[in-house]
Amino acid sequence: MVTQYIPAGGPGIRVDSAIYCGSHVNPYYDSLIAKLIVHSVNRMNAIERMKRALSEFVIEGIETTIPLYKKIMADPAFIVGYNDAGFLEKYI
């Protein structure tokens, strides 16, 4: 059950979600319970905006991928735009 839900917000930030505090997430339901979308004038600004949004986004009571995305946003290879098919393997 979702015990706390505080979506990120602000300029260039959008959250698509149908959950709320008290929601029960069925294990057979689509694992995408919230989608965080960030845009800005360039990659570096968008990454900084995403870091801020991830630090503000609170979903408690269930496991989320927020910690994973915080690590990715701090990864030097990601920041400069380098990625390949094996990029996520170091995090999983």
**Structure tokens given for 22:** 């008290």
Helix intervals (H) in the chain: 43-56, 66-74, 76-79
Task: Report which residue type is found at 38.
Answer: V
What span, in angstroms and rounded, lies between the C-alpha atoms of 58 and 8? 8
Residue 28 gets which letter from DSSP? Answer: T
What span, in angstroms and rounded, lies between the C-alpha atoms of 31 and 75? 24
3-class SS at 84? Answer: coil
What does pTM read for this prediction? 0.87
Write the pLDDT tens digit of every residue in 55-67. 999 999 998 999 9
- Confidence class of residue 14 from pLDDT cuts 50, 70 and 90? very high
